[in-house]
Structure 1
Amino acid sequence: MQQINEVVIGLLDTYDTTCPYKLCTLLGIDIVKLERTDPILCRNNSIYIRNYLETETIFIRNDLAEESEKFYIRHELGHAILHPNIRNSYNTHLLNRYKLEKQANYFALKLSNIEFDGIELNNMTLEQIASCVGIPHTVLKQLANF
């Protein structure tokens, strides 16, 4: 994960922002909001597709809370930056999909620049912590064992 840390530091040094919307603009990645039932989403909250109508595009549900939306955009940016040889982020045929998802989640967490205060979080469940910091519970659970 050190490589991901270095990528995030490089982004901060180059673009001086962690705002996922600004980063998408600077990197030439479109963001398209869709109804949750849109077939493009394949029942996901968000997906990244490289070369969709000759552009890189993040598709995201239009009904997510602001913090969730930002996290999912950061997650898809992780796929765009860390996995340049993969056409889309929902390819279920990849043998290493779990690894790629974990990397994108870690990237999103690091880019979120969230600081965890051990004393403040003492005796809280993962669900409560996830809610406090605006990260999906499943993501925090996956990354808790890092």
Structure 2
Amino acid sequence: MKELIHKLVRKYRTNCPFDIAKALGIHIRYSDLGSTTKGLYYHKLRRKFIVIHDGLTPEWKRFVCAHELGHDRLHKGISRFFIEEHSYFSPGKFEQQANRFAVLLLSEGKPPLADETLEHYLPRIGLPKETALFFNRKTEH
């Protein structure tokens, strides 16, 4: 996953998920997705879409965009609903992978400072503090 992210960042010269999605031809839309859904990714008529809940903070919108971009890059052709209903795979695994992708993408090229805590590091790189759950400093950098 790290190599995939490194290639994306090198190719598009940014780790901004919005810029990368645009370069990949993924359309980003905003909508009220309710209180439990932050975002979703889908294909329709050969077009790709990321839909982000419009009530999120800018930091969360950025993280959600990166997360959904992770689904595009890591889980091509896989429908979560298909997995839940027709196989033994846990969709939780794919969500965890997309969260890891988002954290790695958004922290690419921005390593923590010596002795910097996650409490200080995450806001410095524009990540919501709640994303600390998806971050493992010992294996990520």
How far apart, CA to CA, are the structure 1 residues paired with 2:73 and 2:31?
23
Residue 12 of structure 1 aligns with which residue? 9
Question: What is the distance in 1 between the residues matched to 2:129 and 2:116?
Answer: 19
Contact 1:68/1:136 (CA < 8 Å) preserved in 2? no
The residue that corresponds to 2:49 in the other structure is 57
Change (3 A) 1:8 1:105: same
CA distance in 2, matches of 1:62, 1:112: 20
8 Å CA contact 1:130–1:136 kept in 2: the answer is: no
The residue that corresponds to 1:111 in the other structure is: 105
| CA pair 21-142 structure 1, distance change in 2 beyond 3 A | closer
User: Which residue does 1:30 correspond to in 2?
Assistant: 27
The TM-score with structure 2 as length reference comes to 0.77
TM-superposed deviation, 1:78: 0.3
Q: Tell me the TM-score normalised to structure 1 length.
A: 0.75
Matches within 5 A, 1:77-116: 77-87=69-79, 93=84, 95-113=89-107, 114-116=110-112
Question: Per the alignment, do residues 36 and 118 of structure 1 end up closer, same or farther by CA in structure 2, a change over 3 Å counting?
Answer: farther
Give 1:129 shift. Answer: 5.7
Identity, % of aligned positions? 27
Amino acid at match of 1:35: D
- The question of 1:141 aligning with 2:138 is answered no
- 1:82 shift after superposition: 0.6
Identify the match of residue 75 of structure 1 among 47, 52, 67: 67
The number of equivalent residue pairs is: 131
Structure 1: gaps of 5 or more residues: none
**Structure 1 vs Structure 2 CA RMSD:** 2.7
The answer (yes or no) to whether the contact 1:45–1:61 under 8 Å persists in 2 is: yes
The answer as to 2:116 corresponding to 1:120 is: yes
The answer (yes or no) to whether the contact 2:33–2:39 under 8 Å persists in 1 is no
**Structure 1 residue 142, shift from structure 2 partner:** 4.2
1:47 is paired with a residue whose SS is strand
- Among 39, 47, 67, the alignment partner of 1:46 is 39
Q: Residue 39 of structure 2 contacts residue 68 of structure 2 at CA under 8 Å; is this kept in 1?
A: yes
Structure 2 residue runs of 5 or longer lacking an equivalent are none
AA matched with 1:75: H
